[in-house]
Amino acid sequence: MSVPWEKTSEIMSNTHVSIFDCLGNELLTQSTFDKRIEFDCSSLTNGIYFCVVRAGSRAFTGKFVVIK
């Protein structure tokens, strides 16, 4: 999964991405200054997951489904 930032949403602060399962267990945390964040979800089992992206004082939460 990649979380691309639009050109108009360029963020100059450190960006933190966390992935949680539906029980609230944190599975991955990644920090970067890049506008694009990628991670390999091949180790995840089928299910619903939540992605929290934090940059500066802003935060975005989205959900995604893994089906293999």
CB atoms within 10 A of CB 55: 19
Give the pLDDT of residue 11: 47
| Among the listed residues 5, 1, 7, the one whose alpha carbon sits nearest the alpha carbon of residue 55 | 5
What DSSP character marks residue 44?
Answer: S
What DSSP character marks residue 35?
Answer: S
Q: How far apart are CA 12 and CA 44, in angstroms?
A: 30
Q: How far apart are CA 1 and CA 51, in angstroms?
A: 10
**pLDDT tens track for 15-66:** 888 999 999 999 988 887 776 777 778 888 999 999 998 888 889 999 999 9
CATH architecture entry for 2-66: Sandwich (2.60)
Instruction: Name the residue ranges covered by the structural domains of the chain.
Output: 2-66
For the entire predicted model, the pTM comes to 0.71
Q: How far apart are CA 51 and CA 19, in angstroms?
A: 5
